[in-house]
Copies of this chain bind each other. A is one copy, B any other.
């Protein structure tokens, strides 16, 4: 029998697990096209190779001028400038601006040489043919975006280690970077166990149940940025499990074993982890509900986790521990800063001091207020979570939350790895 360590808080369990990884292992990178870079983690800092914008641009529709020619201009005492041309969009003006001259320019158009300001259309009026009245004094640089005002050549444009959102994709396009290096998706092995577990495509005989966890966890792994690799269902047998782990370790960055439902299969997982070499099992038992019988290990420089067989427990613990580990393997900060929805509880949520509870809830808006109704599932089957929109975390220092109290609901969508990088 393995030595049962005492129950550990989820925070310090994650900490032990992360600390036991070899420090400073370089991230594997791959090249992708900008079309498939969304959601990937940028491998290296991207610097601007050219100035952005690459030329001085008008920020309004109006007239390019020399500011000095307009000093003191007002509606009652306009400046008179001679119109020498129009800057066509997408072209460099063929003319330069001399003293006392103005040129029509559109928003985003390039300033002609010699111009240092733009007067808004509204602050002008036509005078004689090819002559313009300027009704307001312009100062140097007014209504102009200077060359390089957004980025100078060499400026850090997008820092490495960022998960690319639409705006970063746009930023890369602005810089003309259409191929880039991103961090490879961590390869996550998924091993189901349990003599009673059959593939979901097979009709279970009496006494058998379909494998729910492999597909559920594969979904969560994918959302968190990993590449799930389902390795099938292993019978409740030490040597079969150990052989599966030995096969999986070299090709994966994280190994997840989903226990069968009986307690003996959890001991099996722990023994199999211990047999893989140091440091071995780090945590066996979490002060968390659901998810207490969780096992964390590191062997051959690779993190391993044994999840409970109960689908609700497995998915909850995966949110709390697997998502941060995948983030770490991607080079992201493991902690997720999760936005929440304030809601009023409709029923008491019991808990025990010293234990962190994750209570699934349904939320509903009535008269503009958000209410959260706890979903209590005795059987703890996956449909408890299908019915739920999010969870309420009951911290270890309280013994439950009373009905009517205002709580922070973490929506599953935010929790599923799509939350923000703290």
Contact = CB atoms under 8 A, between A and B. Distances in A.
A328 interface: no
Interface string A347-371: 0000000000000000101000010
Contact of A108 (B55, B201, B309, B416): B309
How many identical chains are in the complex?
Answer: 2
Interface in A164-187: 165-174, 176, 178
Contacts of A88: 195
B262 A107 contact: yes
B53 A209 contact: yes
A263 to B, nearest CB: 5
A382 interface: yes
Interface in A386-416: 386, 388-390, 409-414, 416
A170 B311 contact: yes
Nearest to A365: B422
A216 interface: yes
Interface residues of A, number: 104
A371 B170 CA distance: 26
A170 B414 contact: no
A210 interface: yes
A339 interface: yes
Interface stretch (A75-83, A143-151, A297-305): A143-151
Contacts of A35: 215, 218
Highest count of chain B CB atoms <10 Å: which of A38, A90, A150, A378: A90
A342 to B, nearest CB: 9
B92 A207 contact: yes
Which A-B residue pairs are the 6 nearest by beta carbons? A108-B261, A170-B216, A166-B219, A106-B262, A90-B196, A92-B206
Given A89-B194, A89-B261, A411-B420, 5 more contacts: A53-B209, A89-B207, A92-B206, A106-B262, A174-B311
7 contacts: A35-B215, A53-B381, A106-B263, A106-B264, A108-B196, A411-B419, A412-B420
